[in-house]
Amino acid sequence: MKSRMADPRENMTFVETYLTHGDDRLQGYFFMDSPIPMWVVFSLYLLMVKLGPRVMESQKPMQMQGAMIFYNLVVMLLSFFTAVQMLVAAIQSSYSMACQPVDYSDDPRALRMMNALYWYFVSKVIELADTFFFIVRKKDKQITVLHVYHHAVMLPHTWWFVKFVPGGQTFLVSFLNSFVHIWMYAYYGLSAMGPHMQKYLWWKKYLTKLQLVQFVLIASHALYNVCFGNCGFPRLFSLSSVIQSTIFFSLFMNFYLKTYKKQKGT
């Protein structure tokens, strides 16, 4: 199989490396040729958040049980698929957990990782439907700053990583998030089945703890590359992971303390 140089961006400028010239292997992939479709979806999402509850004010809450069960099952399976594909590609390529550069070649292992990360991005587009279900069911209290920020920011952030660094250090960030989402959407799916399932959902508290651990691991791993990494993975992307993980940790910890510490005190 014909392969290319390990890093085709070696002689590019800073702007080309981080902002304009993505991975050529992704040419033809939906959303990847241009950032415009992603920003259109991003804008429509914020518009839905702004106008959706107003539109539903005069409407009765929709009963979406069947659709929600199906939706959560699909996202859970997609998260499982991406997690397994990324893990297999990482093991096959003997990934270093300390510092791993992106393999831009046409090696089947590198292409497996790239494709898994692309579908990981697609899952972030699909997950915007979480907010849609809250809106049409008139569950406006669920549309918090944490919820909207989490869904909205992940779209351009994930697109940027997949477009420019679909492999290397990006693996651990995406794998951990996909792993957590397997359990998160399993929980949502069971919850959508009705009140009779509540007795089986005692582990919600531990799901939030798992999310917090995820952010600590991602931030720590990325911070190592920022401070000590010398494998060639761009430190700017790792720094971005540190910042976003810290913000997410703060928001989720605030949610955890308000939800569970308050319950313990009452």
Query: And the tokens for 182?
Result: 């397997």
* 249-255 contacts at long range (C-beta below 8 A, 24 or more positions apart): 249/212, 249/215, 249/216, 249/219, 251/145, 251/146, 251/149, 251/150, 252/146, 252/208, 252/211, 252/212, 252/215, 253/212, 254/146, 255/144, 255/146, 255/208
Q: Find all residues with CB under 8 Å of 73, minimum gap 6, and list them.
A: 185, 189
**How far, in whole angstroms, is CA 46 from its chain's centroid?**
18
Of the candidates 178, 192, 62, the one whose C-alpha atom is nearest the C-alpha of residue 127 is 178
> Do residues 173 and 244 make contact, with C-beta atoms less than 8 angstroms apart?
no
> Do residues 148 and 186 make contact, with C-beta atoms less than 8 angstroms apart?
no
Question: Is 150 one of the annotated active-site residues of the chain?
Answer: yes
Q: Annotated catalytic residue: which of 21, 147, 150, 151?
A: 150
Catalytic residue numbers?
Answer: 150
